[in-house]
Chains A and B, each alone.
Chain A
């Protein structure tokens, strides 16, 4: 089945700097890659997603890139703010695997003011 690895597990950045989180996946048939943000004590919420027919997607300060050949995708947060502090999860979904979402282990991001 699908295996998703996420790095780093923790990330501390200064406010205003950029943060990058990387994920790799094992199933070459995976075609949907969402990113979720989970603030302390709250539910995971989708912040951005990308499908395999697109290489990059941007939404304000957040961008996701996908490299299908290398089977990895990354989340980029620019001009970080204290409210970006949270745990971020990547995931991959493959029709061949019954469309289950397989999640990475999460990255705890701390933005220091």
Chain B
């Protein structure tokens, strides 16, 4: 499937590193989302962007910094992460800002050492 792509698929980083996750959607959608998926926990919404504007920050620590340069691209910049931040980070997109189907990317499996 190529509708929503994410890179890298796997990432190992130290607590002092800086890295970025990238998401790209080819569906012509206007809303993009970052979710965190940890073992034995529900999908946690992190950020929402509608038409490139951030409309939701779900009390996410500042060590996670999103960027949405246009409606097709979404980044998650990571710095000074903690081991408990290890998780699967999923990007999703939808036509508009809610109430309709969200399409997920394959995720980036992040391990913080």
- A interface list, Cβ under 8 A from B: 4, 31-32, 34, 36, 42-46, 49, 89, 93, 95, 98-106
Contact = CB atoms under 8 A, between A and B. Distances in A.
* 8 closest A-B pairs by CB: A99-B98, A103-B43, A43-B104, A99-B99, A105-B42, A103-B42, A44-B104, A32-B99
A34 B49 CA distance: 20
Nearest to A5: B42
18 contacts: A4-B42, A34-B101, A36-B104, A43-B1, A43-B4, A44-B90, A46-B101, A46-B102, A46-B103, A89-B42, A89-B43, A95-B98, A98-B55, A98-B56, A98-B98, A99-B97, A99-B99, A100-B48
Contact of A101 (B55, B102, B106): B102
Contacts of B56: 98, 100
B66 interface: no
Interface in B97-113: 97-107
Given A32-B99, A89-B43, A106-B42, 5 more contacts: A42-B106, A46-B102, A93-B99, A100-B45, A102-B45
Interface of B: 1, 4, 41-43, 45, 48, 55-56, 90, 97-107
A100 B33 CA distance: 10
